[in-house]
Amino acid sequence: TRSLVNAWRLLRSGDLAGLGRRIVARVTRLGGNRPVRYGPWRDAHVVLTDQDRARIAGLAAGLSERPSFTLVVEVGADTDPGLLGSTLESAAAQAWPEWVAYLATDADLADGLTGDLTAAVAAVGDPRIRITGPEPQALGDWVAWVPVGDLLHEACLFALADGIAHSPGAAVAYTDNDHVDARGRFSLPHNKPDWNPDLLLGQDYLGGLVAYRGDVVAGAGVESAHERALRATGGLTGAEVLHVPHVLYSSRVDGADLSWTRGTHIRWPLPDPAPKVSVLIPSRDQGRLLERCVASLIGDDAVTDYPEIEIVLVDHESTEPRARAVIDALAADPAHTVVTFSGPFNFAAMVNRATEVATGEMFVLLNNDTEAISPGWLTEMVGHLSRPEVGVVGALLLFSDGTIQHAGVHPGVGGLMGHGHKHRRGDDPGYFGRLSVAHEVAAVTGACLGVTRANWERLGGLDEENLAVAYNDIDLCLRARAAGLRVVLTPHAVLHHHESVSRGFDDDPASNERLAGEVAAMRERWGDQLDVDPAYSPNLTLTGNDFNLAEHPRVEPVWIGSEDGIINHG
């Protein structure tokens, strides 16, 4: 079976950590064990102990930098006094003392708070809670808007202050959050990625508590939280957006409030005229698959609607008559090119040879076992590739049964690399709606990978010497990110991928030896970077691709130190 073959490959490659994660995941599924339940996980990793509180107090007292926070709580005549009281009590319980809360009243409260609201404020009894008009007149170093009913974890502002103190360039800071219902039950933890501007364009993934340095929100008028986030972060770099990857805030949720599942499809315009795209297809035999792949791109029955396509097919010693018919037809068409390749299979070398004869301004690497099923997939990819900040673009790939095969690659998941959301339904919105919008990922598969000619030449193509078959696509993505370029996964470019049908699985001794060398090459080249994924929270499991909770977070809060007293700033 595929699972046994994959396990054998990991064992022979020497990736014992990856093999261990796969075994744990498999045993969990076979044993019927459920994913980690949030209630016990929250008790263990979110709720503070007295020892935690004592440690936080000591750390807070020792911080030389003392950022102050203004909490803006918007209230109106219909504000629930009980919910307001709960929110203010969570502010008053903060371990970090440098804060003030402004109750920003609307026009209906021009003459002051109603009796019930006044009583709710008085019951908290904290002089740092003040009443103002619709817009606070004076703001602290940092400003955060807190909806009535939401709750701040008692270490929330301290964790932000500590993070800000250790990130002097930060202009925006956000935390993870869960949700609390009318009965006070906590659920739905949103373990967020690090700064992901493409994701933010399509949805307000920052959500929860977002603290803004005063100067980036100065002069703000009435706007939604998403509008505020977009305006404040416009032009910021990743170093200026601080993510504290711990659940430190609880957003009020009523009933079936699933607004986080919605996202906006941002359509990036094509240059005029549309750039020519060279679709690079390495292939050997498997005529039926190749036929379907090519027919979905060009010809009378083509699914793809992009106007300027050149196919560059790299033929690796094909002899099958059905495959030869497709190859010969392409060779006879002056709009397309066939390159012959001999010798051992070397995906990277085949693609590199294709780029040497390609005439397009953009390249799309495409497996011969893929099939376009959405007309605008290539237009979508080219739109993203036309953005100067984007280096590599990947697509949503589905198995023949319509379930997800690829929706981005996450280092460390299920081995050296794993595919997120794998085997979910093709129309699944993904973890907190992530598959409803384009977003940055650590890497994408070379089965369908777009890159401009300019960036291909800048990055040096695929490594055909050390990564002939496996991980050459991942290596390209990591080099793109190291060069300051984004790797974007768009779920709006959808294709079928009949995975590994064309070549099968590598399970012979020579292939396993080659794979072991490729794993070693990746480890030597990228080291610890292979264990860090800015698009995948350290609170999520590495033993599966389902975005479930990890049993233990891989990054502990600052107040959780090792036995020798070393503090982990993550």
Which tokens in the block code for residue 337? Answer: 């090119």
Last residue of a domain, one of 260, 291, 322: 260
List the beta strands (DSSP E) in 407-527. 409-411, 417-419, 439-440, 448-452, 486-497
Residue 473's pLDDT is: 98
**Of 436, 460, 462, 437, nearest to 449 (Cα)?**
462
Q: 287 and 168, same structural domain?
A: no
Tens-place pLDDT, residues 490-505: 999 999 998 654 444 5
Residue 291 counted as domain residue: yes
pLDDT at 562 over 50: no
Q: 182 and 310, same structural domain?
A: no
**Of 436, 411, 431, nearest to 421 (Cα)?**
431
Distance CA 536, CA 420 (A): 9
Distance CA 343, CA 317 (A): 8
More confident position, 144 or 568: 144
Residue 104's pLDDT is: 85
Range with the largest mean pLDDT of 74-78, 229-233, 254-258, 557-561: 229-233
Q: Which of 338-352, 413-427, 475-489 has the lowest mean pLDDT?
A: 413-427
pLDDT at 222 over 70: no
Residue 567's pLDDT is: 40
Helices (H), 399-553: 453-459, 472-482, 509-526
pLDDT (mean) for 385-395: 99
Q: Give the residues across from 479 on adjacent strands.
A: none
pLDDT (mean) for 12-23: 50
Distance CA 62, CA 58 (A): 6
Distance CA 423, CA 546 (A): 9
Number of structural domains in the chain: 2
Report yes or no: 87 and 73 within 8 Å, Cβ to Cβ: yes
Last residue of a domain, one of 215, 231, 260: 260
The 3-class secondary structure across 254-279, one letter per residue, is: CCCCCHHHCCCCCCCCCCCCCCCEEE
Residue 13's pLDDT is: 47
Residue 511's pLDDT is: 80
**Of 190, 183, 105, 188, nearest to 148 (Cα)?**
105
pLDDT at 568 over 80: no
**Of 491, 503, 255, 483, nearest to 368 (Cα)?**
503
**What CATH number is associated with residue 118?**
3.90.550.10
Q: 183 and 145, same structural domain?
A: yes
Q: 486 and 424, same structural domain?
A: yes
Q: 291 and 251, same structural domain?
A: no
Residue 257's pLDDT is: 57
Residue 329's pLDDT is: 97
Which secondary structure element, helix H or strand E, spans residue 300, and what is its range?
A: none
pLDDT (mean) for 469-481: 97
Last residue of a domain, one of 260, 288, 322: 260
Q: 243 and 387, same structural domain?
A: no
Largest CA distance in the chain: 86
Distance CA 386, CA 451 (A): 10
Q: 319 and 248, same structural domain?
A: no
Residue 213 counted as domain residue: yes
pLDDT confidence tier of residue 143, bands split at 50, 70 and 90? very high
**Residue 493: what are its φ and ψ, rounded to 5°?**
-110, 110
Residue 532's pLDDT is: 83
Residue 481 counted as domain residue: yes
Q: Which domain holds residue 490?
A: 277-531
Work out the mean pLDDT of the chain and round it to a whole number. 89
Tell me the percentage of the chain whose pLDDT exceeds 90: 76
Residue 260's pLDDT is: 58
Q: 513 and 369, same structural domain?
A: yes
Q: Which of 9-18, 183-192, 257-266 has the lowest mean pLDDT?
A: 9-18
Q: 434 and 308, same structural domain?
A: yes
Which tokens in the block code for residue 165? Answer: 């103190």
Which tokens in the block code for residue 304? Answer: 């793809």
Distance CA 148, CA 84 (A): 5
Tens-place pLDDT, residues 505-524: 556 778 888 889 999 999 99
Residue 11's pLDDT is: 52
pLDDT at 345 over 80: yes
Residue 557 counted as domain residue: no
Q: Which residue matches tokens 């495959």?
A: 323
CA 240 to chain centre: 18
Residue 11 counted as domain residue: no
Which tokens in the block code for residue 330? Answer: 């392409």
Residue 407 counted as domain residue: yes
Which tokens in the block code for residue 389? Answer: 């900040």
Distance CA 355, CA 312 (A): 8
Helices (H), 184-259: 197-202, 225-233
Residue 27's pLDDT is: 46
Distance CA 543, CA 26 (A): 9
Distance CA 521, CA 468 (A): 11
Report yes or no: 407 and 433 within 8 Å, Cβ to Cβ: no
Distance CA 16, CA 9 (A): 10
Residue 112's pLDDT is: 67
Residue 98 counted as domain residue: yes
CA 150 to chain centre: 25
Q: 323 and 256, same structural domain?
A: no
Grouping H, G, I as helix, E, B as strand and the rest as coil, residue 556 is coil
**Of 195, 170, 176, 205, nearest to 535 (Cα)?**
195
Q: Which residue matches tokens 């998941």?
A: 413
Q: 492 and 386, same structural domain?
A: yes
Tell me the percentage of the chain whose pLDDT exceeds 70: 86
128 Cβ contact partners less than 8 Å away, ≥ 6 residues apart: 91, 92, 99, 100, 101
Tens-place pLDDT, residues 281-332: 999 999 999 999 999 999 999 999 999 999 999 999 999 999 999 999 999 9
Provide the 10 A C-beta neighbour count for residue 532: 14
Distance CA 556, CA 246 (A): 8
Residue 319 counted as domain residue: yes
Residue 237's pLDDT is: 94
Distance CA 433, CA 258 (A): 10
Q: 410 and 282, same structural domain?
A: yes
Residue 106's pLDDT is: 77
